[in-house]
Amino acid sequence: MDLQLSGRVAIVTGASKGIGLAVAQTLAEEGAHVVAVSRTPTGELPGKAVHVPADLMDPQAPARVVARAVEEFGGVDVLVNNAGGPPPGVTLPRFGFMTPDDGDWQAMFEFNLFAVVRMIRAAVPVMVERGGGSIVNVSSTSARQPAAMNVDYGAAKSALNHVGKAVSEEFGAQGVRVNTISPGPVLTDWWTKDGGAADVIGGMAGAAKQDVIDQVAPGMMNLVTGRLVRPQEIADAVALLASPRSGSTTGADFVIDGGFLKEL
């Protein structure tokens, strides 16, 4: 299938690893000009991608990223708001409502909501000027499944879902589509890094890291597929939503979670 992305300009945040890296690679393979945003570069980025170093918790960074995309390629057609999760220096999972303090809540919302709001605010006028575009926000099933774990993270992602729907309503008539992807547990370094989620859960369950990844976590979350989601599975969905082939899809939320969510 030709996704008609050749020559289009795509900004991907959090592009140095995990889902963001898979998205950047996939869009580049489809012929898009990729502006890859992360605090640090990685040698795994596609050779033709332009890396823009940015800390999106800096309120001025999103405008600079969009300006760089315009400078390099003349505009923005696709914005993938993938950066999110634990703010820099924070380890999740975090258990209990009483655990995060005001500073934790503020950092979580700054990274997972306000940074995205600023990226959208910077990109939409450029998209409208070009006749439209596609925004894909990477949220989480935690936004739809409240629990006594990562409460601040889930709340921030719930707010992100609201923002995406609202922006899709306001700017849809001007050609800007906004959709959300809600991954379940994805096999990234959020799980695998030293001191990451697999180590935290393993310490509580008395299990080795690999056993947590292969068995404990899928069982704990009752994943129908029996495994964590692969980053490429998210990237493929992002590419389709970014494509003009999804021209009538806006305001939607696509769940890719291995069967974690059970409700209708």
Alpha helical stretches, state H, 140-208? 151-171, 189-192, 197-205
Residues 112 and 139: their CA atoms lie apart, in Å, by: 9
Q: Look-up: residue for tokens 């890859």?
A: 36
Q: How many residues does the chain have?
A: 264
Measured CA to CA, the distance from residue 147 to residue 157 in angstroms comes to: 13
Report, in angstroms and rounded to the nearest whole number, the Rg of the chain calculated over CA atoms: 18
Active-site pick, 153, 171, 191, 260: 153
- Residue 89 annotated in active site: no
Tokens of 209: 């890291």
Question: What are the residues whose beta carbons fall under 8 Å from the beta carbon of 102, sequence distance 6 or more?
Answer: none
User: Which residues are CB-neighbours of 10 under 8 A, at least 6 positions away?
Assistant: 27, 32, 33, 34, 35, 76, 77, 78, 79, 80, 242
Burial 228-239 (b: 16+ CB within 10 A, else e): bbbbeebbebbb
* Dihedral, CA of residue 21, residue 23, residue 27 and residue 33, to nearest 10: -50
Residues classed as catalytic: 153
